[in-house]
Amino acid sequence: MNMNRIAISSLLLAVASPAIGNPAWTADDIGHALTRFGSEKAGNEAGTIPEYTGGLQVAANLQPGDGLWPNPFAEEAPLFRITAENADEFADQLSSGQMRLLKEHADTYYMDIYPTHRTAAFPEEFLAATEQNARNPECGSIHDGLSVSEACRGGLPFPIPETGQEVMWNYLLNYQGVNGWDWNHSAYVVNQGHITLTNTNRSTGEKPFYQTEVTGRDPKVASRIWSRIVAPARSAGTASGYWDHLDPVADDRYAWSYSTGQRRIRRAPEFSYDTPNSAFGSVSFYDEIFLFSGKMDRFDWTLEGKKEMFIPYSNYELKWGCDMETKLMDKHINPACERWELHRVWVVSAERKEGIRHAQKSRRYYIDEDTFGAALYDAWDNSGEMFRSGAQYNIQAYGIPNNPLQDSYSLYDFTRSQYGMFGNGPTRYRAAPVTEREANPQTIAAGQRR
């Protein structure tokens, strides 16, 4: 790509100073200087991040179909390209993992930067509940930030976060629809250019935290996910799931699995922390599912502030426009399929607690201010060497419902020179929540018998 040096120099000046949030914001700023879900309403001074004006508005002739959302920005061209040659000029807006990919694969990897669109849009019920949470003195974190009060319901729990744990709870409870979703979720691992389909499963996910009008729901449950493996044949018929709670100190993760060989359901306490996830070819730990999952008790969490970063955004092309042969290259995802935009993010660092066992010593998360999706993730081992890096690919699931969707992500394992791509395929939102009987592990397992 030919680069206009004058244009690039102007852009560099525009993004040279990260935006740090105003520490004096209060609930009174919600709906004014802040959006109704707590992000800064104004754009940045340079105009490279626009003002928030209500999210993605889509023409009537651009409608989702069969679990797919057409790309509303298909006609846009990149503003410029970041390569190994000019990456140092953008170092303040790149994560350690992005820099490593650019430097290690200088001949094949790059990042195309597109115009920034603040696409996040939410239904009125979520916005009203978020405003109520911001003003409710009983809505808060407990147990040193490891848990969330049940008084926080139906909206973002911490629209004005003050700690690293509160930002991470916003991520764990970020809004992706009330009644849940179903998707055909495929996981691929690429090792030295060899592509392996680790599994394809039919997954179901929901967050009872938002199902305030549904009778029979346990108000202590924050989210739950379960999967039925359909391919490859050697593992077809197995099933697993886990339920996470608002107070994991009192109610630990309820995890279970069903094996067609044993034909029984067993509790699976190992589905947590740094246990390798075999369903993802062991490229991921269980607490790296969707970049972070589970309990926060093995790390000390620090909110570093807010800054401007190039993060994955509106990746309709990556999710549906590129087939797997095009998407997966020998060492990394095909950069022609990725889309990067400049957005403000919350930066959260995690350091392993003294005397606690975990395979990673340090982590850093970059959480999008509008969607509270975990846009980027880096991790380091005991010697300070980079262990893993990940990216979560955001789209706005416009139409009905209208909400952000983050159901696909990548993880690079630098210790073994391999990477994984997870969450490929259509996603379908349900008009009604599943019943408690349908979510019962016995019922799920019964449907797997061959």
How does pLDDT run across 78-115, given as a tens digit for each residue?
Answer: 999 999 999 999 999 999 999 999 999 999 999 999 99
**Cis omega (within 30 of 0) for bond into 232:** yes
Least trusted range by pLDDT, from 185-199, 298-312, 338-352, 370-384: 185-199
Report the pLDDT averaged over residues 313-319: 96
If you ran DSSP here, which 8-state letter would residue 333 be given? Answer: B
Residue with structure tokens 């009905």?
400
Task: Answer for the pair 63, 71: CB distance below 8 angstroms, yes or no.
Answer: no
User: Is pLDDT at 1 greater than 70 in this prediction?
Assistant: no
Q: Whole-angstrom Cα distance, residue 169 to residue 209?
A: 12
Q: Is 96 helix (H, G, I), strand (E, B) or coil?
A: helix
pLDDT value, residue 7: 40
Q: What is the mean pLDDT of residues 258-269?
A: 91
CA distances from 87 to 10, 108, 365, 396, 410 (A): 16, 14, 20, 28, 21
Mean pLDDT of the chain: 91
Give residue-wise pLDDT tens across range 293-308: 999 999 999 999 999 9
Domain ranges across the chain = 131-198+298-422
In this prediction, what percent of the chain has a pLDDT beyond 90? 81
Rounded to a whole number of angstroms, the distance between the first and last alpha carbons of the chain is: 53
Question: Of 12-21, 257-266, 313-322, 341-350, where does mean pLDDT reach its minimum?
Answer: 12-21
What is the predicted pLDDT for the residue at 171? 98
DSSP letter at 98? H
Name the pLDDT band for 14 (thresholds 50, 70, 90): very low
pLDDT at 279: 84
Tokens linked to 36:
């109704």
The confidence score (pLDDT) of residue 23 equals: 67
Distance CA 27, CA 123 (A): 20
Q: Are 286 and 293 in contact (CB under 8 A)?
A: yes
Task: Give residue 447's pLDDT.
Answer: 74
Split at pLDDT 50, 70, 90, the class of 448 is: low
CB 422 within 8 A of CB 280: yes
Per-residue pLDDT, averaged over 41-52, amounts to 97
Q: Check residue 235 and give its pLDDT.
A: 86
- Residue 217 CA: distances (Å) to CA of 205, 220, 318, 401: 14, 9, 36, 21
203 pLDDT tier (thresholds 50, 70, 90):
very high
pLDDT score, position 65: 82
Six token digits for residue 307: 């800054």
> 90-94, 221-225, 343-347, 432-436: which has the minimum mean pLDDT?
432-436
8 A C-beta contact, residue 68 and residue 158: no
The pLDDT score that the predictor gives to residue 31 is 95
pLDDT band for position 266 (50/70/90)? very high
- Please report the pLDDT score of residue 22 as a whole number: 62
pLDDT for 10 beyond 70: no
Q: How confident is the model at residue 216, as a pLDDT? A: 87
Mean pLDDT of 359-373: 98
Query: Minimal CA–CA distance to 55: which of 128, 120, 124?
Result: 120
Q: What's the mean pLDDT in 360-389?
A: 98
Q: Which residues contact 173 (CB under 8 A, 6 or more apart)?
A: 148, 156, 157, 207, 209, 222, 223
pTM here? 0.94
* 5 has pLDDT over 50: no
Q: pLDDT confidence of 21, banded at 50, 70, 90? A: low
pLDDT exceeds 60 at position 362: yes
Model pLDDT, residue 239? 94
Rounded distance, CA 38 to CA 18, Å?
Answer: 18
- State yes or no: pLDDT of 429 exceeds 70: yes
How large is the average pLDDT for residues 264-272?
A: 95
pLDDT single digits (tens) 237-251: 899 999 999 999 999
Q: Which residue did the predictor score with more confidence, 185 or 116? A: 116
pLDDT band at 11 (very low <50, low <70, confident <90, very high): very low
Between 447 and 289, the higher pLDDT residue: 289
Residue with tokens 């926080």: 152
Percent of the chain whose pLDDT exceeds 70: 94
